[in-house]
Amino acid sequence: MTVVFKLDDYTSFSILNASWHTDWVVEYCSSLETRLRYIPTDGFETFPFPPSTANLEEIGDRYYNHRQNIMQTRQEGLTKTYNRFHNPDETAADIQQLRELHIEMDNAVAGAYGWQDLELSHGFHQTKQGLRFTISETARREVLDRLLELNHQRYAEEVAQGLHDKGKKKGKSGGKKKPQAESKNQDNDNGQLSLF
């Protein structure tokens, strides 16, 4: 399944392409073998976005455009590009630069949460999807713990505002609509999220 987000800013692109969101999706969305099934209600609507998004637009722009340039130059799609990205034997300069930009993006997203104290330890690490260039397992667990705590805090705030009153029945057209992600029935063979 491919999920397409109708977002027109590089800030959202940075957040959704950072290791933080990918790890959240792996933890809370279902999978088939090693392929993720991105369910917007599980992976997007529950994901606690950072309170500050300053400085994310510029890194998102650079990452997106560099990745786009790689794909156009090599005539490869996202799957082949990310297969190379996650391959420790791949030493091409353009892929190494994409990894460096990914580290910079992850660090910028950490800053947006106010969590500059995290030691992310980027490198090639074993994950549920196999060997990946990502943050360390220790960092992944800490990120997930902090995101879950933030999710719980925000839910409690919404309950206090009466947004989750389970006793009331909502009309078919009443209430505020949640952000939606469109989905198409296509498997992405390496479990990489296809964003933008």
pLDDT at 166: 63
Angle formed at CA 194 by CA 189 and CA 196, multiple of 5 degrees: 160
Which of residues 62 and 177 earns the better pLDDT score? 62
Most confident among 23-32, 104-113, 177-186 (mean pLDDT): 104-113
> Residues near 20 by Cβ (< 8 Å), separated by ≥ 6?
106, 109, 110, 113, 143, 147
Q: What are phi and psi of 81, to 5 degrees?
A: -60, -45
Residue 61 has pLDDT above 80, yes or no: yes
Specify the higher pLDDT residue, 107 or 53: 107
pTM for this structure?
Answer: 0.80
φ/ψ of residue 195, rounded to 5: -115, 135
Give the Cα separation of 139 and 115 in Å (integer): 12
Among candidate residues 3, 12, 27, the one with its CA nearest the CA of residue 78: 3
**pLDDT for residue 168:** 54
| d(C-alpha 50, C-alpha 174), whole Å | 28
Question: For all residues of the chain together, what is the average pLDDT?
Answer: 84
Cα–Cα distance measured from residue 163 to residue 193, given in angstroms and rounded to the nearest whole number: 30
Instruction: With a cut of 50, say whether residue 161 has pLDDT above it.
Output: yes
Q: Which helix (H) or strand (E) holds 133?
A: strand 130-134
pLDDT over threshold 90, residue 88: yes
The one-character DSSP state at 92 is -
